[in-house]
């Protein structure tokens, strides 16, 4: 497994963990990044920006593909 693959899988694991804790993650067109519905302060921003960048997501369609590829729709 390459470093990039490992980083991607770590990022997916973080998203699964968030979703397992009832966090709703979605694509925000205005911010141009993933967003956690419970973002109540700026401490979430770096995590969600990193997840967006790591997964190479640039729009809602790409996020949908990632969700399907890694079976995130079940969470």
pLDDT in tens, 21-45: 888 899 999 999 999 887 777 888 9
Q: What is the pLDDT of residue 50?
A: 94
Output the six-digit token pair for 3. Answer: 């470093």
Separation of alpha carbons 68 and 59, rounded Å:
15
Output the six-digit token pair for 39. Answer: 């973002």
Quick one: how far is CA 10 from the chain centroid? 11
Output the six-digit token pair for 73. Answer: 């729709």
Q: Is the pLDDT of residue 74 over 60?
A: no
């Amino acid at each position: 497994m390459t470093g990039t693959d490992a980083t991607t899988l770590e990022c997916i694991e973080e998203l699964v963990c968030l979703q397992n804790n009832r966090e709703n993650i979605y694509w925000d067109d205005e911010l141009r990044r993933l967003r956690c519905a419970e973002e109540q302060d700026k401490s979430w921003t770096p995590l969600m920006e990193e997840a967006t960048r790591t997964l190479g997501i640039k729009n809602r369609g790409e996020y949908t593909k990632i969700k399907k590829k890694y079976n995130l729709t079940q969470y």
